[in-house]
Amino acid sequence: MAFTLPDDLAPELYPLAWLAGTWRGYGILTYGETVPEQAVYQEMTFDHDGGPYLRQTTTIWTVDATRSKNLDFEMPGLQGASLLAPAQIWSTETTYWRPVGQEQPDGADAAETTEATADAENSGGPLTPVTRLELVSADPAGHVAVWEGWIQGPRAQVGTQAVGRARTAVPVEEMTRMFGLVGGDLMWTQDMAAFGQSEVTTYASGRLGRVDDLDDSAAQPGSALDPVDTAEPASDDAEPTV
């Protein structure tokens, strides 16, 4: 899906430009016995103020299973969102993405990052530069984190270098996230080690579609449900878990 380069976007952010905008869709939460597997509604917004960084705001809602319809997890993000009736906010987070340098990938970088780079190298075509990233994030559950990673073409991967928490917050030792543009949709996953577990395992995943018109009724959650079955996202936050 084509998109318009945002106005006044700093040149440093051009490698991240495909992320800019608002995305809505569906996903899965699961974390062993601590978080039972469940479908969720998700929104992500990547915006900027002209500075050399992107601000990402992510909100995840639980859904009312009695009013939502079954999902086919191969369906586009906006279509899936149209079948879900959001119930309560599960978590929200603000993250700042800052590009800190760009380099041409060598063979090791190609293996570490994307198959597309390896294919380009084998065909003699130009290699997509790797942009190194530094991120900081905070959530109302009491966590702050410093991340490092990379973005190359329509893929990005980041991992925590340090995670701080408030005294009463759930322990989180490590987090990793992957983002990719697949069929015009934003796909993402998060793995983490938390709740006293040292092993990094899957926590969240999602498929989100770009919203070109925020007022478009077809782009609203639950838009495919009967009017009596449509629920707006709750304004009162449930206590975030992570």
For 201-237, the DSSP string reads EEEEEEEEEEES-TT-GGGSTTTTS-GGG--PPPSSB
pLDDT at 21 over 60: yes
Whether the CA torsion 56, 91, 166, 31 is positive or negative: it is negative
Averaged pLDDT, 38-51: 97
Range of weakest confidence among 23-27, 140-144, 182-186, 196-200: 196-200
Q: Per-residue confidence at 111, pLDDT binned at 50, 70, 90? A: very low
Q: Per-residue confidence at 237, pLDDT binned at 50, 70, 90? A: low
Residue range 67-77, pLDDT digits in tens: 999 999 899 99
Cα–Cα distance for residue pair 118/106, rounded to 1 Å: 10
Look at strands 155-165 and 143-152 and give their pairing: antiparallel
Q: Is 8 left (phi over 0), alpha (psi -120 to 50) or beta?
A: left
Closest CA to 127 of 105, 143, 144: 105
Q: Per-residue confidence at 2, pLDDT binned at 50, 70, 90? A: low
What global pTM score does this model have?
0.85
How many other CB atoms sit within 10 Å of the CB of residue 30? 14
pLDDT at 161 over 90: yes
Write phi, then psi, for 201 (nearest 5 degrees): -135, 170
Residue range 185-208, pLDDT digits in tens: 999 999 999 998 889 999 999 999
Residue found by looking up tokens 């002209």 in the block: 50
Mean pLDDT in the chain?
89
Residues across the chain: 242
- Give the class (CATH, top level) of 11-226: mainly beta
Domain ranges of the chain: 11-226
Cα–Cα distance for residue pair 231/73, rounded to 1 Å: 21
Q: Per-residue confidence at 105, pLDDT binned at 50, 70, 90? A: confident
pLDDT reported for residue 187:
98
Cα of first residue to Cα of last residue in the chain, in angstroms, is: 32
pLDDT at 25 over 90: yes
DSSP string, 130-165: EEEEEEEEEETTTEEEEEEEEEETTEEEEEEEEEEE
pLDDT reported for residue 235:
55
pLDDT reported for residue 5:
77
Write phi, then psi, for 190 (nearest 5 degrees): -135, 130
Cα–Cα distance for residue pair 134/66, rounded to 1 Å: 41
User: In the chain, what percentage of residues exceed pLDDT 90?
Assistant: 76
